[in-house]
Amino acid sequence: MPTALKTVLPVIAAVAALALAAVAIMLFLAPRTPDAAPDAAETPLPSWAPPAGSPPRTMNPFDGVSVVTLVDPAWLDATSEATGIPRRALAAYAGAAVVKEDHRPECRLDWTTLAAIGAVESDHGRHGGSSVDDAGDVTPPIYGPDLDGDGVALIPDSDGGEIDADAAGDRAVGPMQLIPEAWRNWHVDGNADGVQNPQNIDDAVMAAGNYLCRASSAFDTEAGWRAGVMAYNSDPDYVGTVAAYATRFAAAAAD
């Protein structure tokens, strides 16, 4: 069997298995970043985003340490200014990428892809006037629309409103717009505060990283990158918009 096919087939199998085990994150909120991604009707969107490389570390990740302490503060300052990503959100994206680099090195999930998904899903936790505080908590909490099948996916209530504050149906929650089932499957305490909270950007980004690295183990290839992002949301414009943001962030950080 050709090597390329050997790489792609496990990716396809992993995505299929995930589709049976848990419903993928289904929708995204309209971002309002000043540096908006190009419109698909005006500019052909890229098909994927090659990795930008690892951010410089302050330490290697270990149990009980917050993801936001893992990346060099000077790099965070410079990269936040260059990309327009809020520094607090960038610390979560970069720190989560460092954790995945150590614990799932074959995944090759890059900080730019996590940041791009965060941009599209919630404008880095700022959607609808929300903000991210120093602890990473998003206030007011971000909830997506009711997934009632009316122009969106139909996902019946699965949590009695415990996660998404809606006992009538499911909604995506938090800065990474995780549906309740996805949060239950991939939840984690990303900032080591003893609480697992989908409305905390550290916890949410780490959960999204866990999900993505189960969906694909080859984010450094076009097939693997697309398989992973499509498991998050399979809409072609979504995938292209995430690629556009990630590519833009990588270029800005490299300048």
Three-state DSSP at 241 gives helix
Residue 104 has pLDDT above 80, yes or no: yes
Residue 157 has pLDDT above 60, yes or no: yes
In this prediction, residue 29 carries a pLDDT of 56
pLDDT per residue as tens digits for the range 121-145: 999 999 999 999 999 999 999 999 8
What are the backbone dihedrals phi and psi of residue 179, each rounded to the nearest 5 degrees, phi first?
Answer: -75, 160
Tokens of 115: 């940041």
8 confidence band (pLDDT: 50, 70, 90): very low
* Rounded CA separation 47/40 (Å): 12
In this prediction, residue 33 carries a pLDDT of 44
Q: Which helix H or strand E contains 246, and what residues bound it?
A: helix 236-254
Report strand pairing: 138-139 vs 131-132. Answer: antiparallel
Is 95 in contact with 68 (CB distance < 8 Å)?
yes
Q: What letter does residue 46 receive in the DSSP assignment?
A: P
Is 25 in contact with 122 (CB distance < 8 Å)?
no
pLDDT per residue as tens digits for the range 67-82: 999 999 999 999 999 9
Lowest mean pLDDT among 55-64, 145-154, 185-194, 232-241: 145-154
Domain range list for the chain = 3-25+56-254
Q: Which helix H or strand E contains 138, and what residues bound it?
A: strand 138-139
